[in-house]
Amino acid sequence: MSEKQVPDVQYKGNGEQKGFFVSYTQLAIAVVVVIAITVAVGLIAGLTGNAGSGSQASTGGTTVATTMATTKAAATTKATVASTTKGPTVKPTTPAPPKYPALAKARLPTDIKPSEYYFELDVDMTTLSYTGINVINFTVVNPTNIIVVHIDGITVTGTPQVSTDRYFSTGLQNVIDQGSYAKNNYYYTVLQSNLQAGGVYYVRYTYNAKLSSDRSGFYKYQYTRASDRATVWAAASQLEDFYARRVLPCFDEPAMKATFQANITVPSNYSALWNTMRTGVTMMGDKKRFEFSTKTPVMSTYLMAFTVDDFVNVNGTTNRNTMVRVFSRPGIKQYSNYALGAAINITEYFESLFGLNYQMGKQDHVAVPVFAAGAMENWGLILYREELLSYDPYYINSNGLESIVTVISHELAHMWFGNLATLQWWNHLWLNEAFANFFQNFGAAPYEPGLFLMQQFVLDSVQSGLSTDSSPTSHPIVPPSAYGPFFDRITYQKGGSVLRMFRDYLGHDNFFTGLRGYLNDYSYSNADTVQLFASLTKAVAQNPFNISEFLGPWVYQMGYPVVNVTRDTQNNQGVMTQQRYLNNKDANPSQEGTGSPYVSPYQYKWTIPVNYYDQASSNVRRVVFGMNDAQAVVPWPANSWIKLNANQMGFYRVMYPIDNWNRLATALQSNLNVLLNTDRANLLDDAFTFALTKRLDITVPLSLTKYMSNEVDHLPWTVVSNNFFNFRLRLSNRQSFQHFVKYNLKISGPPADRLQFLDTGGFMEKSARYTVLNTACGAGYVPCINNASAILAKYMMNKVANNVPATYRTIVFRYGIAYGGVAEWDALYNEMRQSLDITDRGRILNALSYARQPWILRRFLNYSMDPTKISASSTFTVFTFVSRNPVGRYLAWDYFRENQAFIKQRYGSTRTLLSIVTQYFNDQFRLDEVRKYIAAYPETTLAAKATENGIIARIQNNMRYLTDFESKMSTWFSQN
């Protein structure tokens, strides 16, 4: 599954079932964090369904007593007593144990192994529900008289049938009990007699369910049809990780692989897609039955997929004649051709690279208007967010194009890493997602060489992963089996970055020889990390290289090292030491955080490949800093600078002596090309990170930015822009802001003049243009503002003749509104209301928050509370955007308090929105106001209390930030 749109989300599924992995306190905090992230980046992701502890069920056979009396689990009593009412305390009762021992474990019994599923779905798009019949063919491994499958939200109708005959005409077994055990999402069928080991049987379930509303399982959604602007119902699926059980009774664990065959009946004005190619259509009155008689390969349940809609496709074939189709709403069919070409090309490249052909007869890609994840790698039927599959150059800029091609490449990599060779259990998720993260750039790079995707990987994955994995409460890439799955930046970006580093260290040929061996060893099967290491070890059998010793510390312990280098002038060398890097410099790097369940087996040491070059030679050399070595050395000529971690190939940070930081800053001002663009970005990222964690004086990274007036490369400008955006949010409405703006103009004005409002150049130039112009306009650079305003004025006169290119469309909309008036605001608001393009609607929604007139921003907040004007799903996003605007920050706070009763009634709690509108508060007066509000409008839930504590802590941290940095930054900005 593509994580590009889903950063930091660790759990997915039914929140009620997560307790197995985390405490209730952790659960509440996780809910709050996920909600906040969802608001900030416009993502929707649920929390995990029950997954279990990873302790395997007994393999010795399971038999339940047939004379066991029927019992009911005692209901948990929850009493709510008003504070003014006295009475006896009602104690919750302890739930009874499950009726049968086989239900007690959170992992399925292993006495039965499924081999084939034959099922039918009959979908009613009027009632938004469906009925199903599912037949599972299975083999008995150990004698048992109980069949346990997963269900969640499904109503089983009638008694399941068990037989030795697929058609249930003979060999019927006597069913004596059936029922569900909700805690583990189990449905059980108990037989009078044991099923014998080695026997082959069938079980049939009939059931019904509603199409879900939370974008998981088999879910419903609506979209606007372009031809008549009618609102249309459609359905799609998202089954990873624990959602197949929402669609049909099944053995919903990744190692319980089987083949699948389906028939799907839908209303006659709809079509249905499934993993395999349709083999027939039968009219049944006002319905159509779509028949898919070709079995899937052996695969996990989470890879099934369904769509019910009226979409159309463009299609082509690979050089092996595999049919590739891209489906979309009819109104955007013409924007599917780019994705089609990318999918065909990247599939052919992966077939050659991995030495194994794509395994299905067809490959469908579907642009789903409403989809929670970025995309999902269902075998033969890959589903995407619409904006990540449809390329309209009118609206999509170069960064958007990068997202499209890398997400396609990510999902196609899963056809090998995840679908063909599948993780054994969810704690080994990196075997799917880290490989897909690495290959999303590596696989797309030959198709789009102008995007410089392996350079872009440094920003998108390496630096992103480093930022996330610096907390004492992080987690290993491969946690113990009782924890996970973690669909987050550690599994994805850190995992992909470790693979990139490992490939560079091991060598391209050895790396791919090992991966081909792994894929061959575990095709149509399951593997864990130890087995991956074994396959890689076989590839380098002639080379005395210990794969486990190198990779083990990177995947089995959390965190990463900081390499501290000091100069040994007597021997002209640099002496390196290592320790775990933590954002809190005062924390003990050798200890886990309080309450962390992850204990390092390596004492937080790593084997580090250190690539470097220096002022005397640009040739990249390498030394290996072994995990058991107290220190390592590199040659370092006198009176020169050195750059470690060349090309930021390693997943670590580097701390230099102050003299080297200064030498590097001076060198960049003389000639920025003395360092690679990736190294300039790396140097800036490390320096800002060290300064903001008080390891380095804040003037050091600021001095490094002096050369930026000559910089027109996208990578370093992205690092500087992100940090300056943070400064802007923190310093706005402060006296020091004037000095920051002056310096900002000094370094962003010259490159803005060079790049201009043009739609020329390649990816790096266009991306740099967006970043630089956004920075310059944000600082109030007059030529930038004047150009943006003039371009928007022309656009408002004739949108076709004066179309604004996607390259700088966001800049024009933002600052045209910021320095315009109500006419500009209303024009773009109305355009957003009429647009059917998801990307442009999001762009305009953000731009509307840049207005500087308080009454317009207040009206914007009013609109956000009225679903007839702005979708209710965008309410929190609007408040987030307005709170970033210095003019809107306290306005949003006042508006929130004025409407707190309505907000409480609408959402059940005010705390999430309270967190949003106070996120940039940084003084005692506002802190006191927030405390007064919390006291005046108390909420007693665990989640509310956790949110309140987080809000107070964040404001206090914001205040400390100003105490620590503002004075020195203000002085430096004023003097430079």
Q: Is 411 a catalytic residue?
A: yes
459: left (phi over 0), alpha (psi -120 to 50) or beta: alpha
* Separation CA 759–CA 766 (nearest Å): 7
Number of helices (H) and strands (E), helices first, in the chain?
28, 29
pLDDT at 594: 80
The answer, yes or no, to whether residue 72 has pLDDT greater than 70, is: no
Residues 6+ apart with CB under 8 A from 834: none
pLDDT at 539: 80
Q: Tens digit of pLDDT for each residue in 111-123?
A: 999 999 999 999 9
Nearest one of 797, 783, 903, 788 to 850, comparing CA atoms:
788
Is residue 320 within 8 A of residue 357, CB to CB? The reply is yes
Q: Does residue 89 sit within a domain?
A: no
Is residue 772 within 8 A of residue 748, CB to CB? The reply is yes
- Cβ atoms < 10 Å from Cβ of 160: 20
* 529 vs 63, higher pLDDT: 529
**697: containing domain:** 561-706
pLDDT at 16: 30
Q: Does residue 647 sit within a domain?
A: yes
How long is the chain?
976
Average pLDDT, the chain: 90
Nearest one of 690, 688, 691, 689 to 705, comparing CA atoms:
688
* Separation CA 365–CA 325 (nearest Å): 6
Q: Give the bridge partners for 138, in sequence order.
A: 114, 201
The answer, yes or no, to whether residue 14 has pLDDT greater than 90, is: no
Give the start-end residues of each E strand in 275-372: 280-284, 287-292, 307-309, 312-317, 323-328, 362-368
* Separation CA 59–CA 844 (nearest Å): 58
Is residue 747 within 8 A of residue 717, CB to CB? The reply is no
Residues 6+ apart with CB under 8 A from 912: 32, 35, 36, 39, 876, 947
Which of these three, 686, 706, 726, is where a domain ends?
706
pLDDT at 530: 96
Residues 6+ apart with CB under 8 A from 586: none
Annotated binding-site positions for Zn(2+):
410, 414, 433
Is residue 388 within 8 A of residue 441, CB to CB? The reply is no
Q: Does residue 455 sit within a domain?
A: no
**DSSP labels for 592-619?**
PPTT-----SSTT---EEEEEEETTEEE
pLDDT at 3: 53
Q: Where are the alpha helices (DSSP H) in 355-494?
A: 398-414, 430-442, 453-457, 464-468
* Pairing mode, strands 155-156 and 129-140: unpaired
Calculate ∠ Cα 766-770-772, nearest 5°.
110
pLDDT at 595: 83
Question: Which range is least confidently modeled, 76-85, 480-489, 525-534?
Answer: 76-85
* Per-residue tokens: 154: 């499904």
Which of these three, 283, 309, 335, is where a domain ends?
309
Catalytic residue among 291, 386, 402, 411: 411
At residue 560, the 3 state secondary structure works out as coil
At residue 265, the 3 state secondary structure works out as strand
Q: Does residue 610 sit within a domain?
A: yes
The answer, yes or no, to whether residue 372 has pLDDT greater than 60, is: yes
The answer, yes or no, to whether residue 44 has pLDDT greater than 60, is: no
Q: Tens digit of pLDDT for each residue in 272-291?
A: 999 999 999 999 999 999 99
Under DSSP, the state recorded for 966 is I
Contacts 24+ apart (CB under 8 A), 580-585: 580/604, 581/470, 581/652, 581/653, 582/470, 582/471, 582/472, 583/470, 583/471, 583/693, 584/472, 584/693, 585/693, 585/694, 585/695
- Proportion of the chain above pLDDT 90, given as a percent: 86
pLDDT at 559: 97
Question: Which range is least confidently modeled, 24-28, 187-191, 563-567, 757-761?
Answer: 24-28
C-alpha distances in Å from residue 119, one per residue of 133, 148, 376: 5, 18, 22
The answer, yes or no, to whether residue 752 has pLDDT greater than 80, is: yes
CA 561, chain centre distance (Å) = 24
Sign of the Cα pseudo-torsion (51, 53, 58, 64, in order): negative
Q: Does residue 911 sit within a domain?
A: no
Q: Does residue 62 sit within a domain?
A: no
Burial class from Cβ neighbours inside 10 Å (0-12, 13-18, 19+) for residue 817 reads: buried
| Helix (H), strand (E) at residue 563 | strand 561-568
Q: Tens digit of pLDDT for each residue in 585-630?
A: 999 998 887 888 999 999 999 999 999 999 999 999 999 999 999 9
Which of these three, 689, 706, 723, is where a domain ends?
706
pLDDT at 2: 76
* Separation CA 873–CA 877 (nearest Å): 8
- Domain total of the chain: 2
Helix, strand, coil content of the chain in percent (nearest 5): 45, 20, 40
Question: Which range is least confidently modeled, 55-59, 148-152, 268-272, 712-716?
Answer: 55-59
* Per-residue tokens: 797: 């006169």
* Separation CA 464–CA 825 (nearest Å): 34
Calculate ∠ Cα 854-857-863, nearest 5°.
145
The answer, yes or no, to whether residue 726 has pLDDT greater than 80, is: yes
Sign of the Cα pseudo-torsion (499, 500, 503, 504, in order): negative
Is residue 741 within 8 A of residue 780, CB to CB? The reply is yes
The answer, yes or no, to whether residue 8 has pLDDT greater than 70, is: no
Over residues 628-650, the mean pLDDT reads: 97
* Separation CA 437–CA 6 (nearest Å): 13
Q: Does residue 588 sit within a domain?
A: yes
* 957 vs 71, higher pLDDT: 957
Over residues 88-99, the mean pLDDT reads: 59
Cis before 586 (ω within 30): no
The answer, yes or no, to whether residue 368 has pLDDT greater than 90, is: yes
Give the start-end residues of each E strand in 761-875: none
* Separation CA 432–CA 518 (nearest Å): 13
Give the start-end residues of each E strand in 460-540: 525-527
Q: Tens digit of pLDDT for each residue in 945-966?
A: 999 999 999 999 999 999 999 9
> Whose structure tokens read 């049944």?
284
* Per-residue tokens: 503: 């490939």
Q: Give the bridge partners for 527, in sequence order.
A: 423
Q: Tens digit of pLDDT for each residue in 216-252?
A: 999 999 999 888 889 999 999 999 999 999 999 999 9
Rounded to 10 deg, the angle between the 889-898 and 875-884 helix axes is: 140
Contacts 24+ apart (CB under 8 A), 795-804: 796/823, 796/824, 796/827, 799/831, 803/394
Annotated binding-site positions:
410, 414, 433
* Pairing mode, strands 381-385 and 362-368: parallel
Q: Tens digit of pLDDT for each residue in 415-449?
A: 999 999 999 999 999 999 999 999 999 999 999 99
pTM, to two decimals: 0.90
> Confidence band (pLDDT; 50, 70, 90) for 542?
low
> Whose structure tokens read 């003037």?
699
* Separation CA 836–CA 628 (nearest Å): 59
Q: Which residues of 437-473 are buried (b: 16+ CB within 10 A; e: fewer)?
A: bbbbbbbbbebbeebbbebbbbbbbbbbbbebbbbbe
- Cβ atoms < 10 Å from Cβ of 528: 17
In degrees and rounded to multiples of 5, residue 428 shows phi and psi of -100, 30
> Whose structure tokens read 């499209």?
404
pLDDT at 94: 58
CATH number at residue 570: 2.60.40.1910
In degrees and rounded to multiples of 5, residue 144 shows phi and psi of -160, 155
SS (H, E, C) 912-924: HHHHHHCCCCCCH
Nearest one of 64, 256, 56, 55 to 144, comparing CA atoms:
64
The answer, yes or no, to whether residue 172 has pLDDT greater than 70, is: yes
| Helix (H), strand (E) at residue 724 | helix 714-731
pLDDT at 86: 33
CATH number at residue 211: 2.60.40.1730
Q: Give the bridge partners for 122, in sequence order.
A: 131, 265
In degrees and rounded to multiples of 5, residue 412 shows phi and psi of -70, -35
Q: Does residue 37 sit within a domain?
A: no
Over residues 763-788, the mean pLDDT reads: 96
